[in-house]
Chains A and B, each alone.
Chain A
């Protein structure tokens, strides 16, 4: 039995980057918020660079709770879509340039806890898919700013998975 030689790293990287970019481009709202995603292998970190339009209360000033919630929701949905297409992408069954791309999961319930006020700084979020079933999935997500050990918001979300 002969083993397939490993793919060149540039090919693997460009395929992953293209798939992630395609996923993000599919959600105009991510562009409106100004969020982006850093990737290390399969690990994603959502980044929300600070912008004055994200402020809710100008007197403190603090990030708008709605902007924080939206950021967490975007981080959760992209993580879930990314992890569910990972296997197909790695095995070359998904073409990032194809006309159709897997549909995104739909949010059923979203619960966000505000732990401290969001500062006028960049924010980061990482999501974990706690359960991924055929129809439903549950995702937990945590956001922090300067200090990783001091999250300023966390959320749990339940999603309806797209039909295969």
Chain B
């Protein structure tokens, strides 16, 4: 189990798209993961305000959710997103890093259910919240 977390933590930064977005793993433990994406002008959605594009935040939330599934105690062999719904509650403050915290709160034999929250420096007011379902591939016995 601890090996699984260490493994997932080691694999994460080698995912090309996560790497190109500059994602850093803060924490991974039994079914929960926190990943941070630094502010980067290339990821801006609206140059007039400097606010990050929703797509970059979606990518971060998807990655954190997948990481939470991978380190679930059921030790899945692999996972893929089935669907992800994201509500954008307010624009992210320009210049601040975004952290996504995901919890894989339930798994069945084939499906994992995840809740995910994205915050900037003001952690009391989330930037976005999401719910996702992921496929769960059990390790072959």
Contact = CB atoms under 8 A, between A and B. Distances in A.
Interface of A: 26-29, 31-33, 52-58, 62-67, 69-71, 73-74, 103-104, 106-114, 117
A152 B123 CA distance: 35
Shortest Cβ-Cβ A-B pairs, 5 listed: A66-B59, A70-B55, A64-B17, A29-B53, A65-B81
Given A29-B42, A66-B62, A70-B59, 19 more contacts: A27-B53, A28-B41, A28-B43, A29-B55, A32-B43, A55-B15, A57-B15, A66-B55, A67-B59, A70-B56, A71-B55, A107-B54, A109-B87, A110-B86, A110-B88, A111-B84, A113-B83, A114-B80, A114-B82
B59 A108 contact: no
Contacts of A110: 54, 58, 85-86, 88
Interface of B: 14-21, 41-48, 52-56, 58-63, 66, 78, 80-88, 91
Nearest to B21: A66
Contacts of A73: 53-55, 58
28 contacts: A26-B46, A27-B53, A28-B43, A29-B43, A29-B44, A29-B52, A29-B53, A29-B56, A53-B19, A57-B15, A58-B14, A58-B16, A62-B80, A63-B17, A64-B18, A64-B59, A64-B62, A65-B81, A70-B56, A70-B59, A74-B53, A104-B45, A109-B87, A110-B54, A110-B85, A111-B85, A113-B82, A114-B82
A29 B40 CA distance: 10
Nearest to B135: A114
Contacts of A107: 54, 88
Given A27-B45, A114-B80, A114-B82, A55 B55 contact: no
Contact of B62 (A52, A69, A104): A69
Contacts of B86: 109-111
Contact of A26 (B47, B54, B85, B91): B47
A113 B131 CA distance: 12
